[in-house]
Every structure is written in C-alpha cells, then in structure tokens.
Chains A and B, each alone.
Chain A
C-alpha cells in the first residue's frame, strides 16, 4: 500500500466508498441547484408551495438512483488507470441513465396516479415522458461527467491524506 498510492479495484468498489460518493453526488447536485436559486431570489416564493412529503420522497428517490448508478459505474471503470475519454464516456452514460430513471420514476409515481383520477389522459402522460426522457438524458450526462470530475478530485485528495505509515503523518 505504501508503494502504490493508487486506489485498487476492491477499494473503489467497497460499500463505504460507494455510499460516500453517491451521497456526496446527490447532496452536491441538490446544493448546486439550491444555492444559486436562493441567491437569485427565485426560490423564496417557490419552496413554500412544494409539498414537504413530496420533496422528501423525491430526494430519497434521487439518492437511491444515484447510489445504484455509482455502484454500477465503479464496477466498470478504474479512475486511476482508465483513459479520460473512457471515464467521460461511462460517466456520461451512467449520468444519462440516472436522469432517465429519475424522470420515469417521477412520471410513474406522480403523473400516472394523477391521470387516473383526473381528466389527464394516458396519451398526455406518454407525451410528457417522451419529451422528458431525452432532456433528462442530456442533463444527466452533463451532471454525470461533472460528478465524476468531483469524485476524481476527492479520490486523489483522500489518497494524499490517508495515513499508511509513520512517515506519511509528518
């Protein structure tokens, strides 16, 4: 370990690493939306109109989806040895998957029940999903690549501070 400072495959895939990176990415995504929105004054009127239970449910769903995709991603890439283009490709692909699962989950959990009890027909639901999925895939790809960049910085920084022997502590 002292000779090889790089993260090994088993270290990358260990549950604590996946749990940490997925929570950091979820919280980071939410804060990246929240801070500029609040600073611009756009959030003060919107937040009180959103349901608390709904907001907590959406956050929990996002967290679950990001955890699953982070786990799959770290099974397939090695941030210390893979080329940058391969990392960007996989991060973009899993980010897109994240976005698609998230939007479809919202449609199934919220829009379909609404359609069943109101005049909103299922064709409109399909249209919402058809428009939402490509947008979610594109946004997800950008977010996925940004999250991977942050993860790489965190992995490298942690490598620099990990105590391995007495000499590394000084």
Chain B
C-alpha cells in the first residue's frame, strides 16, 4: 500500500483539476466551432428546419461560451500567466479583445435568430449561411491564437 504525503496529494488533486478544466475548455470550443460549421453546412443544403437548428445551436452556444470564459480564466491562473509586457501577454490581450468583439457580434446574431419565424424562405437560409460562416471563421481565428499561446 502506498501512502502519499498531504502536499503530494494536494498537488495531484490540483493537477487533475487543471487537466479537467483544460479538457472542458477544449470541449467547449469543439461545441462552438463544430456547431457553427454544422449550421453553416445545413444552411448551404437549404434544409427546411434551419431556423430551429440554429436556435438549438444558440442555446448550446451561450452555455458553452460561458463555460469557455470561466475555464479560460481558470487556465490563465493555473498556467501562472507571464506579464502583459511579454509576447505571450500581448497575444493574450489581443485574444481577450477579440473575444469581447466576438461576444457582441454573436449576441446580435442570436437575437436576430430569436426573432426569425419557423418558416424559412431562401433569404433566411442565405442569411444563416453568411452568419454561421462568419461565426465559424471567427472561431477558427480564436483557435489559431489559442494554438500560438499553447505553444509559446
């Protein structure tokens, strides 16, 4: 039988929690990006229930987005983030500023989706195609910045 000292036990617990937070952060982004891509593809295919699909995505989007922000701050604390004067710090600031802009643009998109009727004419499908295409591209940009941060 192996006994861990209390300090070692606390370190293992802390590392497990940080790993879980990072995993949830990545899964949150997978929901956002995968969902946006799916709705964009469905809009291109002109499926009849595109607005219902988009609404379901919007519910998931904001839930996952809140989790992403919370776990993102958790990651920042766990990593012991370098100061803002470093290159890493500058990239974090750019990423946070882009996230703030993305929140505003996404809110406008969701509030518009909340008002569209269930009957979807071709114009609505075109609108969804543009909106979710732009969302997916923006998310890809944020993922690219996250990659830069992850690899120093």
Chain A residues within 8 Å of B, Cβ to Cβ:
1, 7, 11, 14, 16-17, 19-21, 23-24, 26-28, 30-31, 34-35, 38-41, 43-44, 47-48, 50, 52-53, 55-56, 59-60, 63, 154-155, 157-159, 161-163, 165-166, 168-169
Contact = CB atoms under 8 A, between A and B. Distances in A.
A38 B107 contact: no
A56 B22 CA distance: 13
Contact of B84 (A14, A39, A63): A39
Given A20-B111, A47-B80, A157-B108, 17 more contacts: A16-B110, A17-B114, A19-B62, A20-B107, A20-B114, A23-B62, A38-B93, A40-B84, A44-B81, A55-B77, A154-B108, A158-B112, A162-B112, A162-B115, A165-B123, A166-B123, A168-B123
Contacts of B97: 35
B66 A158 contact: no
Interface string B48-69: 0000000100110011011001
Contacts of A17: 111, 114
Describe B's contact surface by its main secondary structure.
Answer: helix
B123 A154 contact: no
B115 to A, nearest CB: 5
A54 to B, nearest CB: 10
B20 to A, nearest CB: 9
Taking residues whose C-beta sits less than 8 angstroms from the other chain, chain B's interface range is 35 or more
A1 to B, nearest CB: 8
Given A20-B107, A27-B65, A28-B100, A44 B121 contact: no
Chain A's interface: helix, strand, loop or mixed, by majority?
helix
Contacts of B89: 38, 44
A38 B62 contact: no
B135 interface: no
Nearest to A27: B69
Interface string B114-144: 1111000101101100000000000000000
B89 to A, nearest CB: 8
Nearest to A5: B115
Interface in B64-116: 65-66, 69-71, 73-74, 76-78, 80-85, 89, 92-93, 96-97, 99-100, 103-104, 107-116
